């Protein structure tokens, strides 16, 4: 998923599509129109505490969620990290749609950048719910929204044994899992 610094979003900025890793806070760019999707995003944004410094001349508040950008931009920014192109797989599309078809055979350490519960559940069904998976999962979740926590609570009621849920900082958590015997 895309990771960017918290940022101010100006009215009229288009919502774009794509994913990339960058920094430790998420942000959302939304159009300044009244579509149902944008109304949902704006309602979620209003739930976040804001300081006066996060509001500038009536600009839309800084938010912590998923940024969408173009595929070419994602590719360019991913390659700008210096990580070898031969070791990157850049797949266009929504994470929850592309993971089932492009899942690697092994995952060293799953890392989830939490969006909404529905996408977390779909992603983690593929990435983390494999039989015999004893692993550590790093989750970046907005503690105010808590959708990753909802997923973790669901694991506790299933056949999975979770050994711990430890806070890293305001957004990050480590989950230690041992698969049920």
Instruction: Give the tens place of pLDDT for each residue, 106-135.
Output: 666 666 666 667 777 777 777 665 544 566
Residues counted in the chain: 181
Instruction: Give the tens place of pLDDT for each residue, 40-96.
Output: 554 554 444 544 444 333 333 333 333 445 677 777 877 887 878 887 777 777 766
Local structure of 172: helix, strand or coil:
strand
Q: What share of the chain is helix, strand, coil (3-state, %, to 5)?
A: 30, 15, 55
- Give the count of beta carbons closer than 10 Å to the beta carbon of residue 47: 10
Instruction: Give the tens place of pLDDT for each residue, 136-175.
Output: 666 666 545 567 677 777 766 665 655 566 666 666 666 6
Side-chain-side CA neighbours of 40 within 13 Å: the count stands at: 5
CATH of domain 94-178: 3.30.110
Tokens of 41: 């995003």
Side-chain-side CA neighbours of 97 within 13 Å: the count stands at: 6
**Domain-by-domain residue ranges, the chain?**
1-92, 94-178
């Amino acid at each position: 998923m895309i990771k960017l610094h918290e940022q101010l979003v100006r009215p009229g900025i288009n919502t774009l599509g794509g994913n990339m890793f960058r920094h430790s806070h998420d942000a959302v760019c939304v159009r300044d129109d009244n579509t149902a999707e944008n109304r949902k995003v704006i309602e979620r944004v209003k739930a976040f505490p804001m300081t006066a410094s996060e509001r500038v001349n009536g600009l839309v508040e800084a938010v912590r969620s998923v940024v969408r950008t173009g595929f070419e931009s994602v590719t360019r920014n991913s390659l700008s990290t210096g990580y070898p192109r031969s070791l990157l797989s850049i797949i266009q599309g929504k994470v929850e749609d592309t993971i089932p078809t492009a899942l690697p055979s092994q995952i060293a350490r799953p890392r989830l950048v939490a969006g909404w519960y529905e996408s977390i559940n779909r992603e983690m069904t593929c990435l983390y719910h494999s039989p015999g998976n004893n692993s550590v999962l790093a989750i970046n979740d907005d503690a105010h929204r808590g959708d990753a926590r909802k997923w973790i609570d669901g694991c506790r009621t299933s056949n999975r044994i979770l050994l711990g849920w430890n806070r890293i900082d305001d957004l990050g958590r480590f989950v230690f899992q041992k698969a049920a015997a």
